[in-house]
Every structure is written in structure tokens, then in C-alpha cells.
Amino acid sequence: MRQNQAEFRRQNVAKRSMTKEAKQLAGLIAGLRKSLDGIHKERASKKLSGAEMGLLDERRNNLLLTIAALDDRLSAVQGLIDLGRPHIIRVH
């Protein structure tokens, strides 16, 4: 019986932790998408030199890659929660 209680407690802690992580990831992704919109507006509204356009393009590409990676992570976390198999995911 104690082993079941310990496992249940561990699962609850993991679920709370993963739910918190999912909320944080969603907020971070939303902030990055807002930054991406800012880059698009800046690129469209001003007369920029080729070098400035290149820098904005590089920032945009880096943001897109970061957003994609965070989306993958969020999807994995939400999938584990939905499957009822939460656990603490360690990142090294």
C-alpha cells in the first residue's frame, strides 16, 4: 500500500511539474512569436541596407529555429501528460 501511495505522489509531483513547464513553454513561444512579428514589421516599414536586412533575416531564422525546438518540447510534454505518463524530464 505504501508503495502505491509513493508512486501516486510521485506521479502527481511529475504532473504538476510538467504542467508548469508546459505553461512556461507556451508563454515563451508566444513571446518569441511577438518578437518575430516585430522583426517582420521592422523589415517591411523601413528602408534598410543589405547588411541590415541580412541581420534581420538571421535574427528571424534563429527565432524560427528556437520556436520550432520549443514547439517540439511542448508537444512532447503535453503528449506525456495526455497519456497519463508524466515524469520529470531532465535536460543536460
pTM for the model: 0.79
Three-state secondary structure string covering the chain: CHHHHHHHHHHHHHHHHHHHHHHHHHHHHHHHHHHHHHHHHHHHHCCCCHHHHHHHHHHHHHHHHHHHHHHHHHHHHHHHHHHCCCCCCCCC
Q: For the segment 7-66, what is each residue's pLDDT rounded down to a tens digit? A: 788 888 888 889 999 999 999 999 999 999 999 999 887 788 888 999 999 999 999 999
